[in-house]
C-alpha cells in the first residue's frame, strides 16, 4: 500500500477537473504526479474527478439542438477528407518530401550498398494523413520497423509555453513519441518508435514539459491502416 501523501495531487486534480487550474499549479500537478510514477491512487483520483466533473453538466436543463447538426458534423468529416483529396499537389509534395527523408534515414540506418536500388524500400512504406482543423500533417513509416517521420505545413503555433506532443494510441492507451513545435508553420520530426502496432496517432497541445499522459484533447488524429 502506498504511504505517499496524495493531498496536493487530489486538490489540484479537483481544480483541473473543474477547469479552474492555472498554469503554475498545472505544472506543479504534473511534477507531483510524475514524482509518484506509476501511481494507482493518482489514476483513481483523476478518473473519479473527471467523471464527476463530466456529470456536473447534466445538472443543466438540456438545450434543444437543431436536428441537422449531426448531419453537419458528419458532413464536416467528409469534407475534410474531400479537402485532403482536393489538395493533391500539396499532399504529393508533402508525401514526396517525407518519403524521401524516410528513404534517406533508412539508407543511413541500414548502410545499404550504393548499388542496391533504394527504390526497393518504398513498397513497404505507409503514408497516413492526420485529420485536423488547420494545415496538413502526414506521417511516413515502415510497418513492423521502428522509425517514423512526421511532417507538417501550415500548422498553427501551439502557443507560448506550449508544444505539440505526438501520441501512439493502442486500444485506449496513449504512449508519447515525443514533442515538437513547428517553425513558421512547418514541422519535421523523426521518432525511433515503432508506430505500426498503433491503432491511432494523435497530436495534442501540451506544456513544454512534454507530459507522460495527454492533458488535452487531440488537435490532429490519424487512423493507421
Residues of this chain that interact with other proteins (CB under 8 A) are 10-11, 14-15, 17-22, 25, 46-66, 69-70, 72-74, 76-77, 131, 169, 171-174, 199-200, 202, 216-218, 221, 223
User: Min. distance of Cβ 36 from other proteins in angstroms?
Assistant: 17
Q: What is the DSSP letter of 58?
A: G
Q: In the bound complex, what is the minimum distance in angstroms from residue 108's beta carbon to other proteins?
A: 33
For 18, 23, 97, 161, 173, the CA distances from 10, given in Å and listed in that order, are 12, 17, 47, 25, 23
- Report how far residue 172's alpha carbon sits from residue 3's, in angstroms, rounded to the nearest whole number: 29
Q: How far is the CB of 65 from other proteins (least distance, A)?
A: 4
Q: In angstroms, what is the minimal distance from the CB of 135 to other proteins?
A: 16
Name the residue nearer to other proteins (CB basis): 5 or 50.
50
Phi then psi for residue 71, to 5 deg, are -65, -40
Q: Judged by CB, which is closer to other proteins: 38, or 117?
A: 38
C-beta neighbour count of 4 within 10 angstroms = 14
- CA end-to-end span of the chain: 42
Residue 72 or 122: the one with the smaller Cβ distance to other proteins is: 72
Amino acid at each position: 500500500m502506498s504511504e505517499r501523501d496524495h493531498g496536493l495531487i487530489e486538490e489540484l486534480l479537483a481544480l483541473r477537473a473543474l477547469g479552474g487550474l492555472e498554469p503554475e499549479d498545472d505544472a506543479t500537478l504534473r511534477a507531483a504526479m510524475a514524482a509518484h510514477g506509476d501511481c494507482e491512487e493518482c489514476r483513481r483520483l483523476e478518473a473519479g474527478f473527471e467523471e464527476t466533473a463530466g456529470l456536473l453538466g447534466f445538472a443543466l436543463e438540456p438545450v434543444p439542438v437543431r436536428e441537422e447538426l449531426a448531419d453537419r458534423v458528419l458532413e464536416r468529416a467528409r469534407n475534410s477528407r474531400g479537402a485532403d483529396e482536393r489538395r493533391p499537389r500539396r499532399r504529393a509534395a508533402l508525401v514526396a518530401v517525407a518519403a524521401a527523408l524516410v528513404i534517406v534515414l533508412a539508407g543511413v540506418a541500414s548502410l545499404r550498398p550504393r548499388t542496391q536500388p533504394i527504390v526497393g524500400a518504398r513498397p513497404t512504406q505507409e503514408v497516413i494523413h492526420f485529420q485536423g482543423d488547420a494545415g496538413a500533417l502526414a506521417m511516413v513509416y515502415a510497418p513492423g520497423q521502428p522509425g517514423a517521420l512526421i511532417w507538417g505545413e501550415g500548422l498553427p503555433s501551439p502557443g507560448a509555453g506550449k508544444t505539440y506532443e505526438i501520441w501512439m494510441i493502442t486500444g485506449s492507451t496513449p504512449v508519447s513519441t515525443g514533442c515538437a513545435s513547428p517553425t513558421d508553420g512547418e514541422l519535421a520530426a523523426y521518432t525511433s518508435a515503432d508506430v505500426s502496432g498503433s491503432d491511432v496517432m494523435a497530436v495534442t497541445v501540451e506544456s513544454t514539459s512534454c507530459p507522460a499522459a495527454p492533458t488535452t484533447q487531440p488537435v490532429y488524429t490519424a487512423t493507421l491502416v
